[in-house]
A and B are shown apart, each in its own frame.
Chain A
């Protein structure tokens, strides 16, 4: 087979073929010396662009590789070793067996699972408040600032405020005294389960501002005419929220979920460190805190790496589950 004369020039070959309304056969592409994608002639400009693209992305790829992918690969490797921070030796899956044999690790996993339960609350509350603010209720500007405030405060400060709030003679107790319930001393930080609930409440509060802003930004993208049309059709506020706002905010809810999930699993270290030190007992020890304890208190970096891999898998699993959930909705 001969190469068609009109298609010999690479710069016009694609156009020629397009006008023919066909793709070249493999034999035709070979006879013309076309090695591009789909058997088309290689476009020098496209090649240069692709090369430039690769060159421009190289620094980022290198950085991500060195600072993210390599440490992750190292962590996975060390999760199969006994490693004291200096020397390590391979023990295979023994570290995983050892980790799951620890009764406290099972409790740590339970704590993380319970923390996940707080995520819907950390989403639903700001979503509802964002809806009210979007409705331009009286004083909405003031409340928008107030609700966003925790986001601008460091976890350490939040933790100290939480200690003062939940302490035996703290603000919560004074509030209870004020409403005649002073006989009830919840002293939430002194009990394993109640301390975790206190951490969850603090976490929900601290994520409130971030999620609120995400939802307000999302609501600003919704066409106002949809609301007007719904009102004309006689829809109440609840119907508007559930039938218009929430479905149209699906992507924003998904984003808020991911942000909150990652915070719950990997950003609570300083809050827990200051607020409870993981106690009482292992009551508020989460996976990330457990990793710190294993690595830096016990000096068992191998086991800490193993727990790190478990944390990575847990976050990935929950993230994939929610992606699947929202994909189904689509």
Chain B
């Protein structure tokens, strides 16, 4: 018995020592940081891995273990790991209300970044507590993004579509021509790297709301002063949900999988997506693909341009100084060039992307006088986004009416406490 007790004590001591060793360092003098991302195989992954490698070269004592987590339940995993303080040192975060939701797990970077440095970051307010840069910085953005459409030039030409649609009427006209030519106008569904196993409706929703509200008015959707059930919102939803009914989309909008693959194979003329997939399209389709702003508007003057994601240091990390060094590195010139080389749009002022398709979109947004909007799902409450992700899909599939979907969004907002829909943005 005595031997057994001694053995157990020794085993426990070894296990404790081993765990402690594993948690702090691998190899003498080397700190290993763990970085979680949910980028799948998109251009963002290329950039992240390249950034980590470049950082390791310039910081010999630090290595970064890049871990790809599943996109669909990334935040569930991160939250669960963070509650038990077993999560990564650095995590990919979505900006806006997403990072405010997880603010309790994030290190405020205010002590590490000067006001001058923060001023170099585009739209820095969306990475700050309460959207107020004076309160600090929670996320170092990786890139500037667009929710956007991509179209297949050859299919447009084949159907005789000469002008890229910028408004509802232009879209319906193009849709008629494409259908007549036997081409599916738009492809909807899910992608292997998608946020959910059905279409993510907030790409379109951003343009739908930009079509009827100014950027400043979007705050009304957050506070409830503009109702989700207001006639102009419902009117937009009604037009949008008519797309499948009018044959402007594939028939299986809710269940189709791998839509990125379908678009690159020429199965449809247009797709609603984001700039992070631009490198994929560019690689697969070359000059046959071009970007456009989703035309869910009568004015044709809106674009969703926003730094939607980036890196955060977890406040429970045991290697916060080293993790902050990585974020500082991301902001540096060499890192911004790596981001550009991966086909993404750098979000630090003074740097440009090398991607032709991204540059085309940037030029489009600048020269044609589009008003930039943030991404709607980043500036309305997570509960509303969750409800919308389900009910807007149901409406798009013809299962419920647009008004019923709008009522679900309103109900989700109504159920929130006043502190979550007040004048100050709060997670």
Contact = CB atoms under 8 A, between A and B. Distances in A.
Contacts of A277: 72, 196-198
Contacts, number: 86
Interface of A: 84-86, 98, 101-104, 163, 167-169, 185, 187, 189-192, 274, 276-283, 285, 292-293, 296-299
B196 A192 contact: no
B255 A191 contact: no
B256 A168 contact: yes
B252 A190 contact: yes
B254 interface: yes
A257 B391 CA distance: 34
A104 B397 contact: no
Interface in B153-191: none
A192 B400 CA distance: 9
A85 B83 contact: yes
A293 B411 CA distance: 17
Nearest to B414: A101
Interface of B: 72-73, 75-76, 79-80, 83, 101, 104, 196-198, 251-257, 382-383, 386-387, 390-391, 393-394, 397, 399-400, 408, 411, 415
A296 B387 contact: no
A280 B399 contact: yes
B411 A190 contact: no
Chain A interface mostly: loop
Contacts of A191: 397, 399
Nearest to A189: B255
B399 A281 contact: yes
Contacts of B256: 168
Contact of B393 (A85, A280, A285): A280
Contact of B408 (A104, A190, A279, A285): A104
B251 A279 contact: no
A167 B253 CA distance: 11
A123 B386 CA distance: 36
A279 B194 CA distance: 15
B390 A102 contact: no
B397 A280 contact: yes
Given A86-B104, A187-B255, A280-B390, 20 more contacts: A84-B104, A85-B83, A103-B408, A104-B408, A191-B397, A192-B394, A192-B400, A277-B196, A277-B198, A278-B390, A279-B254, A279-B390, A279-B393, A280-B397, A281-B394, A282-B390, A282-B391, A293-B386, A297-B382, A298-B386
Nearest to A167: B255
A285 B386 CA distance: 13
A277 B254 CA distance: 11
A296 B73 contact: yes
A39 to B, nearest CB: 41
A167 B252 contact: yes
A102 B415 CA distance: 8
A190 B254 contact: yes
24 contacts: A85-B83, A102-B411, A102-B415, A103-B408, A103-B411, A187-B252, A190-B254, A279-B198, A279-B254, A279-B390, A281-B391, A281-B399, A281-B400, A282-B391, A283-B394, A292-B76, A293-B386, A296-B73, A297-B75, A297-B76, A297-B382, A297-B386, A298-B386, A299-B101
Nearest to A84: B104
Contact of A279 (B75, B252, B394): B394
B245 to A, nearest CB: 13
B86 to A, nearest CB: 13
A281 B383 CA distance: 14
B251 A185 contact: yes
Among B73, B101, B257, B394, the one with the most A-chain Cβ atoms within 10 Å of its Cβ is B394
A145 B390 CA distance: 39
Contacts of A192: 394, 399-400
Contacts of A169: 252
Determine which residue in B101, B255, B393 has the highest number of CB atoms from chain A within 10 A of its CB, and name it: B255
A82 B21 CA distance: 37
Given A187-B255, A297-B76, A280 B383 contact: no
B383 A298 contact: yes
A168 B255 contact: yes
B197 A276 contact: yes
A255 to B, nearest CB: 34
B386 A280 contact: no
Contacts of A297: 75-76, 382, 386
Contacts of B415: 98, 101-102
A157 to B, nearest CB: 16
Nearest to B244: A190
Contacts of A282: 390-391
A281 B390 contact: yes
A169 B383 CA distance: 33
Contacts of B80: 296
Nearest to A193: B399
Interface centre among B104, B391, B393, B397 (most CB of A within 10 A): B397
B90 to A, nearest CB: 20
Given A276-B197, A281-B399, A293-B386, A168 B393 contact: no
A282 B255 CA distance: 15
Name the residue in A283, A293, A299 with the highest tally of chain B Cβ atoms < 10 Å from its Cβ.
A299
A121 B252 CA distance: 29
Nearest to B382: A298
A98 B415 CA distance: 8
Nearest to B253: A190
B96 to A, nearest CB: 16
A283 B79 contact: no
A296 B79 contact: yes
A187 B254 CA distance: 10
Nearest to A190: B254
Contacts of A84: 104
Nearest to B392: A281
A84 B102 CA distance: 10
A191 B198 CA distance: 12
A190 B104 contact: no
Contacts of B390: 278-282, 285
Contacts of A98: 415
A202 to B, nearest CB: 14
